[in-house]
């Protein structure tokens, strides 16, 4: 269940994870992208932390809306619109429900619509989709998230800059999948998926 408290805790923790791992995320992006995923996400994370500390939030939707605006206006590249759209759709869905499955599923649909990628293309969707399924079945766990992130390693990229590498994109974890993994782990830790 998303509450104001656990949503704020999770997103603040997401912001610090992104800053802490910015070099690692950029390293993942170097062989298959242009090496800046960590720096871009961390620019958004710094702004997100500031924005979340500034306001007094009365509902979950406003928190996601703030995250959406911050990511869209600070990150750029493909990650800004993709994370921004996900947060925006989650803001809309959380006006109707507090249940995590439909909210995160709305985020997934936003990413799919914006990025035109499908499962197996070696993108963040390869983490979002199994996570949504696991939440629905109440089987979400840290191990499952890790597994989904790792499962992008043997894939051949079909979207984004990594797609130009063809077979040479095999053997690298997708950086967007990794940052998405951080997001779901902090949600898990904050108790979002508890009954």
Partner 1 sequence: MKKIINTTDQILDQMVDGIALANQEIVERLPETNVIKQKDISQQVALVSGGGSGHEPAHAGFVGDGMLQAAVCGQVFTSPTSDQVYEAIKAVDQGEGVLLIIKNYSGDIMNFEMAMDLAEMDDIQVGKVIVDDDISVEDSEFTQGKRGVAGTILVHKILGAAARSGKTLDELVTLGEQLVQDVKTIGVALSGATVPEVGKPGFVLEEDELEFGVGIHGEAGYRREKMQSSHDIALEMLEKLKQAFDWQAGDQYGILVNGMGATPLMEQYIFYNDVHQKLSEEGLDLAFSKVGNYMTSLDMAGLSLTLIKLNEDYLAYLNEAVDTAAW
Tell me the closest approach of the beta carbon of residue 66 to partner 1, in angstroms: 14
- Identify which range of 11-19, 39-47, 127-135, 139-147 contacts partner 1 by CB under 8 A: 39-47
**Contacts with partner 1, 117-156, as mask; x by CB under 8 A:** ----------------------------------------
Contact between 76 and partner 1 per CB under 8 A:
yes
Q: Work out which of 3, 161, 170, 191 binds partner 1, going by CB under 8 A.
A: 161
3-state helix/strand/coil string of the chain: CCCHHHHHHHHHHHHHHHHHCHHHHHHHHHHHCCCCHHHHHHHHHHHHHHHHHHCCCCCHHHHHHHHHHHHHHHCCCCHHHHHHHHHHHHHHHCCCCCCHHHHHHHHHHHHHHHHCCCCCCCCCHHHHHHHHHHHHCCCCCHHHHHHHHHCCCCCCCCCCHHHHHHHHHCCCCCHHHHHHHHHHHHHHHHCCCCC
If one asks whether residue 79 binds partner 1 (CB under 8 A), the answer comes out as yes
7 binding partner 1? (CB under 8 A): no
Q: Of the two residues 7 and 74, which places its CB atom closer to partner 1 in the complex?
A: 74
**Which residues of the shown chain bind partner 1 in the complex (CB under 8 A)?**
26, 30, 34-36, 39-40, 43, 72-82, 114-115, 158-161, 163-166, 168
């Amino acid at each position: 269940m998303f509450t104001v408290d656990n949503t704020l805790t999770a997103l603040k923790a997401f912001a610090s994870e992104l800053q802490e791992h910015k070099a690692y995320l950029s390293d993942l992006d170097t062989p298959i992208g242009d090496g800046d995923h960590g720096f871009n996400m961390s620019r958004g994370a710094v702004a997100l932390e500031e924005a979340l500390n500034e306001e007094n939030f009365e509902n979950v939707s406003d928190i996601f809306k703030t995250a959406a605006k911050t990511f869209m206006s600070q990150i750029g590249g493909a990650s800004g619109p993709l994370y921004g759209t996900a947060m925006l759709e989650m803001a809309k869905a959380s006006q109707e429900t507090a249940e995590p499955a439909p909210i995160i599923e709305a985020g997934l649909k936003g990413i799919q619509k914006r990025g035109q990628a499908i499962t197996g293309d070696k993108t963040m969707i390869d983490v979002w989709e199994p996570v949504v399924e696991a939440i629905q079945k109440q089987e979400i766990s840290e191990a499952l998230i890790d597994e989904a992130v790792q499962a992008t390693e043997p894939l051949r990229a079909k979207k984004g800059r990594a797609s130009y590498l063809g077979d040479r994109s095999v053997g690298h974890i997708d950086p967007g999948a990794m940052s998405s993994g951080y997001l779901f782990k902090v949600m898990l830790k904050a108790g979002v998926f508890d009954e």
